[in-house]
Structure 1
Amino acid sequence: MKKILLTGFEPFGGETINPSWLAVSALHGQQMQGHSVVAAQLPTVFDASLRELKRLLRLHQPELVICVGQAGGRRALSLERVAINVNDAPIPDNAGATPIDTPVVHGAPAAYFTTLPIKAMLAALQQEKIRAEVSQTAGTFVCNHVFYGLMRALAKSRSLKLARGGFVHVPWLPEQGAPNMALDDMVRGISVAVRCALAVQEDRLMGAGATD
């Protein structure tokens, strides 16, 4: 069966939970439009997160990849538009690394756009009364690091040349602070986003790819 790969992160920054992993793990094993959902956890660590993601891509050869991360302070599901080739850590990652103004990949393009139909996904989420937005920045921490690495891997891999991918940020859970979103709404929102991405091949978004 064709695969959908969903990834979330382990807790970081002193937290004991990460809603990104709780949300995607709730969808593991489900079937959507002839595809099987595989959920996997990434370490919140520069470099190690990309090594694990690339291993998962080789293993599962997914047709659709959505990486999900936590963004405390946001109130909606954030559909990320662009990943930038910069690591600039505001806090240490889970291995204690704090890269400042370093590239994700030396000599690579400045940015990659998502290949998900984020405008259609936004409309689908809003129709289901789930708070959602298109975001212009995934930050410069491990979330953006993974987003950039994902889009570069999809652009460069012959075996994954037809696969599409992108990144979604979720808010805190109520027990983590405010603003927040209930876990059930996150799970439902990611499910809606995945089904929309499978159904919609083209979006009103300008052409995806790399930019110098």
Structure 2
Amino acid sequence: MGDSYIKYKVLVTGFGPFGTYKENPSWLAVKTLHDTVIPTAPTRGQPPKGPKPDSIHLTSLNIPTVYAAVLSTLPDLHAQPPVLPPLYTPPTTRPLPEDGFNLIVHVGVAGPGPLRAERLAHKTGYQLPDYERQSPPIIIGGGNLRGFGSPRYGDEFANELFTSIDVDTLVKDLTEGPNPLSIVTSDDPGRFLCDFIYYCSLAESQRAGRGTPVLFIHCPPIDKKLSTAEVAEGVRRIISHVCAHL
């Protein structure tokens, strides 16, 4: 499609290696979307020859599966303009948006099955060590409680943060029709790096005060229901749908 005017600029993140994954399935899918332009999806009830779709530019970012990397990177992603660590992202042909991204989507790997659109993230309860074998941060004054706390993530942030995106409608729309997407809703992002980055991103969106929508998508391991190409196409359709309803 023509892309002389880009209405939406979207950041999509995947994770680096961890466990048995020398290349994380989330990044293998996400990196194929980098520096591409896609159209918004038709909205429900729109006539076939309705308004021309808007253009969406995608930027991909690879974030290490490391708690410290999430904490040091996420605030900059929500800044105006955002700052992306050059080590983690390929070059892009377009400048980063001065007023911030319109949408941030995080993708991580889970178990076999469909894509999972997560509705919420948790502030505490993290225990598992990361790729560098470092434990999640311990909360000062919280005993052995680990996760987010003061001074940056104090009481102004709830124990559960919910995405502003209507995940139920998103999933319903994408699973109906002639080309249904393999996706379900979920309230269990896992209390590991996926949950951790989601909470951090939702909190930073709240702190920035611009209402930037944030979404987390879990993908399966490669060919454990979906191929890398199918995951990438699923993420593309999700972004297209969300931007059409912004």
Query: Fold-level match, TM-score > 0.5?
Result: yes
Partner of 1:97: 134
Question: Structure 1 residue 17: deviation in Å?
Answer: 1.7
Question: Are residue 134 (structure 1) and residue 185 (structure 2) matched?
Answer: yes
Question: Structure 1 residue 143: deviation in Å?
Answer: 0.8
Partner of 1:206: none
Question: Are residue 64 (structure 1) and residue 103 (structure 2) matched?
Answer: yes
Q: Deviations over 1:19-67 (max 9, x none)?
A: 1111111111112333311110111001311322222332241010111
Q: Deviations over 1:167-191 (max 9, x none)?
A: 11101102xxxx4411111011101
- Whole-Å separation in 2 of the counterparts to 1:199 and 1:157: 23
Check 1:87–1:3 CA distance in 2 against 1; reply closer, same or farther (3 A cut): farther
Name the SS of the counterpart of 1:26 in structure 2. helix
The counterpart of 2:208, out of the listed 157, 169, 182, is 157
Asked whether the 8 Å contact 1:82–1:112 carries over to 2, the reply is: yes
Partner of 1:210: none
Name the SS of the counterpart of 2:194 in structure 1. helix
Larger Rg: 2
Asked whether the 8 Å contact 1:25–1:40 carries over to 2, the reply is: yes
TM-score, normalising length from structure 2? Answer: 0.73
Asked whether the 8 Å contact 1:124–1:192 carries over to 2, the reply is: no
The counterpart of 2:117, out of the listed 64, 68, 79, is 79
Name the SS of the counterpart of 2:9 in structure 1. strand
Name the SS of the counterpart of 1:168 in structure 2. strand
The one-letter amino acid of 1:191's match is: R
Residue identity (%): 26
| Ranges of 4+ aligned residues in structure 1 off by more than 3 Å | none
- Whole-Å separation in 1 of the counterparts to 2:145 and 2:9: 35
Partner of 2:49: none
- Whole-Å separation in 1 of the counterparts to 2:225 and 2:71: 28
Partner of 1:13: 19
The aligned length equals 193
The counterpart of 1:143, out of the listed 194, 208, 211, is 194
Bigger fraction of residues in helix: 1
The counterpart of 1:24, out of the listed 13, 23, 30, is 30
Q: Which runs of 5+ in 1 are unaligned?
A: 202-212
- Whole-Å separation in 2 of the counterparts to 1:27 and 1:46: 25
Backbone CA RMSD of aligned residues: 1.8
TM-score, normalising length from structure 1? Answer: 0.84
Name the SS of the counterpart of 1:95 in structure 2. coil
- Whole-Å separation in 1 of the counterparts to 2:149 and 2:164: 19
Partner of 2:85: none
- Whole-Å separation in 2 of the counterparts to 1:118 and 1:64: 14
The one-letter amino acid of 2:131's match is: N
Asked whether the 8 Å contact 1:74–1:180 carries over to 2, the reply is: yes
Partner of 1:47: 68
